[in-house]
Amino acid sequence: MRVAVYRKEHFNAAHRLHNPNWTDDKNSEIFGKCNNPSFHGHNYELIVKVTGERDPETGYVCDMKIIKDIVREHVVDKFDHKNLNLDVEEFKNLNPTAENIAVVIYDLLRPEIDAKLDLKITLYETERNFVEYPA
């Protein structure tokens, strides 16, 4: 039977929710205070789950130090202390909702992790609002 291993990291970022195809009134109605044009921000907590067989020589599913380095290089260095809307290429044309951020993180990490291993992302925007992908 397979084992899942989890690694928790964090990054702090600014963002706003906005659909450029909508009027300001509709953006304000749908996204409320999350639409504030001068941005707000969060301490995002990110949990990366990797599932697979244990290697009989190490007793590891995978070396979590390597997973930690991959997450820092491909996600944390890119998102931490940034404005997601202005500074991060992936959100130039994509609304940075928690759902979309989780999918972007999955797409950034998937090519970096052995295809035999399953990958799942949990992202906490606050301790009361969080998302998981794939569900």
Binding site for its own copies (CB under 8 A): 1-10, 12-15, 17, 19, 21-22, 30-34, 36, 38-43, 51, 54, 57-61, 63-65, 80-83, 86-87, 94-100, 102-103, 118, 126-135
* Identified catalytic residue from 15, 18, 62, 125: 125
Q: Are 13 and 41 in contact (CB under 8 A)?
A: yes
110 membership: H or E segment, kind and range: none
Q: Least distance to its own copies from the beta carbon of 116, Å?
A: 13
Q: Least distance to its own copies from the beta carbon of 115, Å?
A: 16
Cβ atoms within 10 Å of 28's Cβ, excluding its own: 16
Closest by CA to 113, choosing from 76, 86, 73, is 73
- Burial class from Cβ neighbours inside 10 Å (0-12, 13-18, 19+) for residue 33 reads exposed
* Identified catalytic residue from 15, 34, 42, 62: 34
DSSP state of 38: T
Nearer to its own copies, 47 or 112 (CB): 47
Q: Least distance to its own copies from the beta carbon of 73, Å?
A: 16
81 included as an active-site residue: yes
Q: What are the residue numbers of the active site?
A: 34, 81, 125
